[in-house]
């Protein structure tokens, strides 16, 4: 009886005073994340580290580092590094703010982000360094392809996995 009373008391103490508050999925569906320029790191062409949080740009797909593409002369280059470099230029020396909605399969926040008034998701697709994954970005991808920007540069061949898309 005494053991049962101690167990019940411990459960009340843990649940009522110091237990985790997000056990049953009641965290907000949308969150605003931001970081100062010193806290922003580019992980790859579609992923940023904002201080201690990782956010993947929502609605697009950039090639991972090490993904091979070919230029107009047939020479191979790392198109994933090109995508990450473009994202680095977009955030260089700027704070980043993201509206995070949901998580990807790796637990990263999925967000629409901006740096100094530049919407990063659209800018990366518009520069030709990412594929549109959602409808709103498709016109930007189409324009990048037509203008031969980024991965669509005249004569360049995008990653093999992308050649069958759209």
Residues 100-117 have pLDDT tens digits of 999 999 899 999 999 999
Q: What is the pLDDT of residue 67?
A: 85
Residue 136 within any structural domain of the chain: yes
DSSP assignment of 105-123: TTSPEEEEEEETTEEHHHH
Residue 7 within any structural domain of the chain: no
Residue 51 within any structural domain of the chain: yes
What mean pLDDT do residues 70-95 have?
A: 90
Residue 6 within any structural domain of the chain: no
Q: What is the pLDDT of residue 135?
A: 75
- 106 lies in which domain range? 27-162
What is the pTM for the complete model shown? 0.77
Residue 53 within any structural domain of the chain: yes
More confident residue, 134 or 151: 151
Q: What is the C-alpha separation between 23 and 97, in angstroms, rounded?
A: 27
Mean pLDDT of the chain: 82
Q: What confidence tens digit (pLDDT) does each residue in 35-78 have?
A: 999 999 999 999 999 999 999 999 999 988 888 887 778 788 88
For the chain, the domain total comes to 1
């Amino acid at each position: 009886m005494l053991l049962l009373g101690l167990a019940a008391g411990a459960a009340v103490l843990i649940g009522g005073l110091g237990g985790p508050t997000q056990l049953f999925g009641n965290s907000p569906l949308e969150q605003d994340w931001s970081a100062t320029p010193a806290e922003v790191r580019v992980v790859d062409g579609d992923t940023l580290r904002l201080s201690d949080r990782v956010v993947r740009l929502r609605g697009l797909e950039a090639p991972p580092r090490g993904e091979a593409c070919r230029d107009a002369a047939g020479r191979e280059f790392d198109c994933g590094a090109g995508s990450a470099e473009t994202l680095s230029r977009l955030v260089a020396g700027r704070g980043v703010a993201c509206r995070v909605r949901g998580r990807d399969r790796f637990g990263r926040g999925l967000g629409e982000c901006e740096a100094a008034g530049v919407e990063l998701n659209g800018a990366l697709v518009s520069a030709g360094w990412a594929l549109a994954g959602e409808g709103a970005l498709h016109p930007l991808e189409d324009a990048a392809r037509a203008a031969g920007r980024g991965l669509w540069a005249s004569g360049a061949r995008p990653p093999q996995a992308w050649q069958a898309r759209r």
